[in-house]
Structure formats: C-alpha cells, structure tokens
Amino acid sequence: MKKVNNKTLFLVLVLLAIVFISTRIFHSPVREGNLDKKLFAIDTSNISEISLKSKADQFKEISLVRDNDKNWKVKQNTITSEVERYPLNNLLNTIGHLNPERIVSRKKEKWGEYNVSDTADAALIIKTKEGEIKEFHVGKETMGSTYMRIGDEKEVYAVAGNILDVVNKKFTDWRERTFLRLDKKAVTKISFKYPADSAFFLERKNKTWFIGNEIADSIKVQEYLNKAHAKDLAEFADDFKPTKDADIKISLEGDATIELKAWHHSFYEWVLNSSARPNVYFLDKGKIAYADIFVPKQYFLKSTSNINK
C-alpha cells in the first residue's frame, strides 16, 4: 500500500511539473531563445530617415535625414542643420544592434507600467530607402535593459541596453556645434578689428611673433591659439539676422583664411559667426568663448598681464 501511495505521489508530482512547464511556455512572457529577433532587425545602411519625438524636447518632432550614403541633416520645423556625428553614430549603432531579451507583457493595460504607451518618453520612427517604416515606443530603463513596444502591437519587450538615453535628446543635442577648427601651426597672421578704430594685428616672421614692430609675448600667442583652435558652442541664435556690420572682426590667416565676427546682443550675450559656417550663428552667453577669442592688444604684450576686453 505504501509503495502504491509513493508511486501515485510521484506521478502526481510529474504531472504537476508538466503542467507548470507548459504554463511557463504557453502563458508566460517569451524568453530570449524563442523570440523572433527579426522584429527588431534593421540594416542601418538602408535607412533614409529617422524621426524622433522625446520628452527631452517636449515631443516636438526631430528628423534625421540622410541626403546620400554619407551626409546627414537634422531638421526641426523650419531649421535644417548639420548633424553632430557622435550622437548620430551612437544612435545608428544602437538601432543596428537592438537585441530583444524577452517579452515582459502581452497586455495593453500594462503599457503604462512600462511607459511604452503612445505617450512614452520617446518614439522612434525609422524609414528605409524602399519606403518601409518601423516604429518603436521607448520606455523605462531598468537593470541594463529598456522596455520597448513595436508600432501598434500589444507585446512589451525588454531590449538590451540603455536605449532611452540615446534617443531622449533635444534638437540642439543633434546639431553640429563646431564654431572653429584651426591648424594653429599654420597660422601666420591674426588681425583684430574692434570698435573706434582700435585695430591691430599679430604676424609671425620666421619663428617670432610681432605686433607691428614690437615683439609679442610668444607664450601668450601660443596660449591664445591653444584656446581658439578648437571651439564648440552649444547655444544657437537661429532667429538672429544681422542688420549691421559686426562689432568685432578677427581674421586668422594661414593655409586658409577664417574670419570670425561678433555682434553685441545684450549686456552679457554675444552672437558669434565663423566664415567656415557662414549661415550658422551661435549665442555666447556670459562671454565664455568671447573671453578666449576676442582679446585686447595688451594681452599679447610682454610688459602687461592678461586683461580681457
């Protein structure tokens, strides 16, 4: 009798195990091994446009458009700009390696819990050259994964990586911020034109820098070139339209000539422009870049200390 009971108990346990496994397979979220990863597979070389709407920019649409195989532009409303390469490359790399780990829910009422509803933190719409469209709703990040939903489908996926950080950006974050790039070793002459005819120029003769006939402080000249040769600015003055000549002009001559212009915008703000990007105007708040670039003649004289204009 005891052997029969033990045998019955063993069969019951086996049956329960089968029921449990079946339930896990057919009613629980799908694990990575059973997922169709083609749902997220995208050939980034075939993308023609990426549209973004994110909380960071109040859900205003941002479009990254490929002009050809190499050139991208970023657009918002009436503004079109060159693209900052790092965030773009990061986005393309992320899109090309979307790796779904598991399905966490198949219920629409769970969308809010994972923040993948139509008001998710970010929406990502990808268009291919053939006109195919894929849409992703990007939700919460947790433990190295991001919750995502595809188009109008009900399933919520946990996808490997911190994807929200890659797409949740302002329009300015996607724009190229380059104000000035300069081969400082090639510069041979720097001309400064300030108001009230207070103009002067630096010129390199052999290996010595001069202000007119006076020898300049070579350390100060090198310091100036070190600060000026690579400048990025994060604020744009898209509404600025110059109605008068610039208040200040600087000409840097070398292998090529670059002209910098500055307009006094307010007590602590200047609008800056470079001939390298003639249609782009930057807003310099607090005279930060101004202090490094638009310096007075006394700055370069050996007998004086650094006095910013």
Average pLDDT over residues 9-21: 57
Beta bridge partners of 51: 63, 125
Q: Mapped to the 3 state alphabet, what secondary structure does 120-161 carry?
A: CCEEEEEEECCCCEEEEEEEEEECCEEEEEECCCCCEEEEEC
Given CA atoms 94, 233, 228, 212 in this order, what sign does their dihedral have? positive
Please tell me the pTM assigned to this model: 0.80
- Which position has the token pair 């744009």? 236
Strand 248-253 versus strand 257-264 pairing type: antiparallel
What are the extents of the domains in the chain? 34-174, 179-300
Residues 171, 180: contact at Cβ < 8 Å? Answer: no
Q: What is the tens place of the pLDDT at every residue in 85-129?
A: 999 999 999 999 999 999 999 999 999 999 999 888 899 999 999
* Topology (CATH) of 179-300: Immunoglobulin-like (2.60.40)
Predicted pLDDT at 44: 94
Q: Tell me how far CA of residue 43 lies from CA of 28, 48, 137, in angstroms.
A: 31, 11, 19
- Residue ranges in the chain assigned as alpha helix (H): 2-27, 85-96, 111-114, 163-167, 171-174, 218-228, 288-293
